[in-house]
Chain A
């Protein structure tokens, strides 16, 4: 609004959008027939998903023996994929919660899609522990509930159970947060929709009206949910890291794990957001809402978290050496130079070296490089989890049980299937919901729209109010010539009302005076005159008696008894606000006749 905005701050909405254009741009993708590229993408995604489902069915039918896990390497691709997906699921809540608390306005362009991505990624993640237990049909034993086995309870001291609670809570809270943000936008879609579609969106929008009190509570709710989701998002990956850190495996039981995992999660989450958003903005033509400024902000987050992750890797190495503990030293020696050396160097290259390119402004602002590096980071973070999990387990305390692990086609198939699942859900999401938060983007238009801020804005730090010139003059008139408030509004607005076809139940009263106040005019003639384009007392006073007679003669209905001879005179008095004189005149008149 009228708060100070630095002139060097880049606009976050370009193209000099109006509120209506924002609605148009963001809702229209859900209203059109899917494009060819969408259909192709969907077919590919659903094929991957189908293959994944087949592999899951294969696993459940034949048992976990179809995977290459062995006595030594008990966690392989399954848990690697689980941690990878959970990590990806961290950007959404980070963007919507932590950046809301920090009042980062660029969040509004990407939070909706990032939150959706979070929810889908967490679903993909939750799949892995579910099938990894082997007997997937009794997976509900995880949950504490009064049962006939004692009752026997799960072990509340176990980090694996903490993980269950953390991820279910995270999923639920993310879903609630996301949906609460979607409700007003579904209302926008509803109000443009027709027929059955309108019914669906009315259901989805929960009957949202946009009342001031509702908005007030909505903002409160968003803020408090953001407040409690912030420690939540940090807790989730902390607890995921506890799965490893509370064990007695060298290379796992390190106190650096929680912050290192959280930074890694944000790192990979932003990379996935960028991968998706760069494609989405191109295909849905959202370049005005997800600008280079957004991309650069996210690249800065990637640079920071990537550097934190790099420091964590080096710290681990240093501590392993400094501890003087041979098993720990061996674990790290083995990671870097053992049989899995390629994954360690893949991880180091993708996560530590490549993000450093983002120190260069040119690369941060280049869509090509951003897209490329975001994929590199996604791959790197997958390697990181694989290094931590499989490499560490493969060389344990007993050299006689050392082993090497590589996945079977079933394990690979399930991973490919989750990628399919993720994209199926994301593609459906882009069809049914506005990908960018409409209401939130509108609320920052006055502070971050390019016509109000940045170098293009007139007077730089002085955001001006873009008011229709008719209104400006109208406002002036109303304050200086209050008595003459019977001035008509511009006729353009009247026609615009008619054009947009406001529903039949509403009466158009704009710029319209009640002619029944004049003697000799009833509701019927009132509407006849309005239909003839005479809307106000001023207009009526300027119309000749002959013209009025002509209107009456050419209109349907019997107006034989009515004579318009006094109407312009009466209207003139009414227009000038001389009500007493009008009353005197009407006393002398007989049914509107002199």
Chain B
């Protein structure tokens, strides 16, 4: 696979960045990605990013926790080793509620966090190509794939939208 070469411009402010993304949309220039030091609100719809489905995953993990806890305790106290505690029934549903709740939360949190890192391709030991050291500081970056956008188009775009710098980098 041919290496991806990115041509990217750095902006000094998120409001200039948002205007730039708008004009890229207007001129139908395909944006490879946008990198920012913090979540910029209003960027997702401009980039056409679909709403994250992480919460569906969270719900499924949570349900898994609920079932594990509730069915597990049910099986243990009615089938595996039934014991009478304080004259209560074997299947003492109200006293299962706290642990069921805790495991729901535990499964949902761990599941979502692990999913988050996996789908983002992040994790301990992952080394990515970082376009610029200042993207985590105060620069806002728009990157074009040189297969999609020619260098001269990219340059003209960055020039007209107020980028402070233009660079390129192979991924």
Contacts and interface: CB of A to CB of B under 8 A. Distances in A.
B39 A20 contact: no
A206 B38 contact: no
A272 B81 CA distance: 45
Contacts of B127: 202, 207
B102 to A, nearest CB: 4
A220 B49 contact: no
Given A162-B99, A191-B137, A172 B106 contact: yes
A221 B116 contact: yes
Interface in B47-104: 47, 49, 52, 54-55, 58, 62, 72-73, 76-77, 80-81, 83, 85-86, 88, 92, 95-96, 98-99, 101-103
B23 to A, nearest CB: 9
Contacts of B141: 210
A156 B77 contact: yes
Interface string B38-50: 1111111001010
Contact of A207 (B77, B106, B121): B121
Contacts of A432: none
A232 B34 contact: no
Interface residues of B, number: 87
A19 interface: yes
Q: Among B156, B160, B162, which residue has the most Cβ atoms of chain A within 10 A?
A: B162
Interface in B119-171: 119-128, 130-138, 141, 152, 155-156, 159-170
Contact of A217 (B15, B52, B73, B128): B52
Contacts of B108: 224, 228
Contacts of B92: 157
A191 B136 contact: yes
Given A152-B81, A224-B54, A210 B168 contact: no
Contacts of A213: 33, 49, 120
Contact of A210 (B80, B125, B135): B135
Interface string A1-38: 10000000000000000111001000000000000000
Nearest to A517: B152
A207 B122 contact: yes
Given A153-B80, A225-B109, A467-B12, A209 B137 contact: no
A151 B80 contact: yes
Interface stretch (A60-68, A316-324, A369-377, A468-476): A468-476
A232 B105 contact: yes
Given A153-B76, A219-B39, A191 B133 contact: yes
A55 to B, nearest CB: 31
A506 B116 contact: no
Given A165-B99, A203-B125, A471-B164, A212 B34 contact: yes
Q: Among B41, B98, B156, which residue has the most Cβ atoms of chain A within 10 A?
A: B98
Chain A, interface size: which category? 35 or more
A475 B119 CA distance: 37
A208 B36 CA distance: 11
Contact of A502 (B19, B49, B102, B167): B167
Contacts of B43: 212
Contacts, number: 242
A207 B122 CA distance: 6
A138 interface: no
A312 interface: no
Q: Among A151, A229, A496, A509, which residue has the most Cβ atoms of chain B within 10 A?
A: A509
Given A20-B138, A239-B98, A209 B81 contact: no
Interface in A161-187: 161-162, 165-166, 168-169, 172-173, 176-177, 180, 183-184, 187
B112 A215 contact: no
A442 B122 contact: no
A560 B170 CA distance: 36
Given A157-B88, A157-B95, A208-B122, A508 B167 contact: yes
Q: Among B12, B41, B103, B109, which residue has the most Cβ atoms of chain A within 10 A?
A: B109
B121 A224 contact: no
A214 interface: yes
A403 B158 CA distance: 81
A224 B165 CA distance: 37
Contacts of A153: 76-77, 80-81
A493 B125 contact: no
A373 to B, nearest CB: 34
B80 to A, nearest CB: 7
Contacts of B44: 212, 216
Contact of B136 (A184, A225, A229): A184
B130 A209 contact: yes
A225 B136 CA distance: 24
Interface string A136-171: 000000001000001111011111011001101100
Q: Among B88, B92, B137, which residue has the most Cβ atoms of chain A within 10 A?
A: B137
Contact of A221 (B83, B113, B170): B113
Contacts of B112: 221, 224-225
A23 B156 contact: no
B118 to A, nearest CB: 11
24 contacts: A1-B42, A153-B77, A156-B95, A156-B96, A157-B92, A177-B109, A192-B133, A206-B122, A207-B126, A208-B136, A209-B131, A215-B39, A216-B44, A221-B116, A225-B113, A228-B108, A465-B13, A467-B12, A471-B162, A478-B159, A485-B160, A507-B167, A509-B168, A510-B165
Given A1-B14, A191-B137, A507-B168, 8 more contacts: A153-B76, A165-B98, A172-B109, A210-B135, A216-B39, A229-B105, A471-B12, A471-B13
Which 8 pairs across A and B sit closest by C-beta, in order of nearness?
A: A207-B126, A19-B138, A506-B167, A191-B133, A162-B98, A215-B39, A439-B38, A188-B136
